[in-house]
Amino acid sequence: MNQNYAVAREIYQEKGVDTEAVLQKLQEIPVSIHCWQIDDLSGFEKSDSKLSGGIAAIGNAPGKPRSQEEYMEHLNLALSLIPGKNKLALHAIYLNSNRRFVDRDAIEPAHFRGWVDYAKARGIGLDFNPTYFSHRLADDNFTLANADESIRGFWIEHGKRCRKIGAYFGESLGIPCITNHWIPDGYKDTTVDKLSPRLRLIDSLDQIFSQPLDPQYNKDSLESKLFGLGLESYTVGSHEFYSNYCAIRNNSMVCLDMGHFHPTELVSSKLSSYLAFGREVMLHISRPVRWDSDHVVTLDDELKEVLAEIKRNDSFNMIHIGSDYFDASINRIAATVLGARNIKKALLCALLEPTAALKAYEETKNLTRRLIGLEEAKSLPFGLVWNEFCRRNNMPADNWIASIPTID
């Protein structure tokens, strides 16, 4: 392996790329690994609620954790196979409540103290997500835009408490927590009044964000969506809505989920528009197959292009990278590891790109050399550098699936 890496290092050096600097940079860039692939977003909340709000975990593969303890074992194994620097993204329903039911408008930092201890022991940060779905008060798919003021008030209180939990994470760990808000609100069929729900959503968000929090501890993001199951015709929290709210009304960041747009829209083409105005972005990396289906992330062209855009603009401090998918048709631990590793591989491909040379061709209008350079970069031996990265993290580069036992 060392000999192979030495060869790769020489090849990249001829292209003006220092693989040692790349490996150091790759080690430092955090990826926020979502916790919900492990158990189909079931969580630890003791309630009878099932997935709702257009969310579905498809499949019935064996091995879903049967207890909170088993869940933690599976999570530990998954994290032990993902090299580099990571964070862990939690949903509010993953609270530690001593097996007692605590409703969403009553959660407190104390219910997540165990997660802070867990993160400290592993030297990782935590991100957070309010859970505005899978609840009796979300059965009509309206939460923060609900016309019923008592229901809307319940979810506003949930949002406020989640921000305080995010700040608790950031202050306790010394790593900013990104608290990401996504709601399912919308209608299945033709909608007559599209404005009133959005005005209610503005008011709800204004109330949730009314208490300023130190951004070194908590940063808020708002996640848009094109549509969801049972919400095909109208989504209150659209991309345009949140882009305007974040820029005009509130200094939050937009969360771009790669599955939440029209099939012909590319998230990679949107990033520079936010960077041009100095806006931070939260990325939820997923793989849509014809719609927002949350397939396990593969090393496809759009994933590589998204990460290349971040690298080309040197904006790793402005664009935050996280995973978001769940597939119940395959081994859940393996799915967590595979998707996260593919994100890291896309990061490596981006960092290994001879960007300086390509930009020089572009600036001198040598578009032929630019295209040739882009194409030749695709066949450079990034896999040998990846193997070295895994070796330095004391993790298997391949056949890591052997570390995951068959689960009955």
The set of catalytic residues is 182, 223, 225, 257, 260, 284, 292, 294, 324
Six-digit token string for 23? 């490996």
DSSP code at position 287: B
- In one-letter notation, the amino acid at residue 287 is R
Dihedrals phi, psi of 162, to nearest 5 degrees: -65, -40
- In degrees, rounded to 5, the angle at the alpha carbon of residue 189 between the alpha carbons of residues 186 and 194 is 50
Distance (Å, whole) CA 187 – CA 236:
9
Backbone φ, ψ for residue 80 (5° rounding): -70, -10
Asked if 208 and 156 touch (Cβ cutoff 8 Å), the reply is yes
Is 270 in contact with 279 (CB distance < 8 Å)? Answer: no
**Cβ-proximal residues to 87 (8 Å cutoff; 6+ apart), any chain:** 30, 31, 32, 33, 124, 125, 126, 127, 175, 322
SS3 249: helix
- Helices 19-28 and 382-392 sit at what angle, rounded to 10 degrees? 50
Q: What are phi and psi of 283, to 5 degrees?
A: -105, 130
**DSSP state at residue 353:** S
Longest Cα–Cα distance in the chain: 67
Tally Cβ neighbours within 10 Å of residue 318: 16
Can you tell me the distance from the alpha carbon of 213 to that of 70, in angstroms, rounded to the nearest whole number?
35
Q: Kindly provide the residue ranges of all beta strands, DSSP E only, lying in 135-279, ordered along the sequence.
A: 177-181, 186-187, 218-223, 234-235, 253-257
Is 61 in contact with 8 (CB distance < 8 Å)?
no
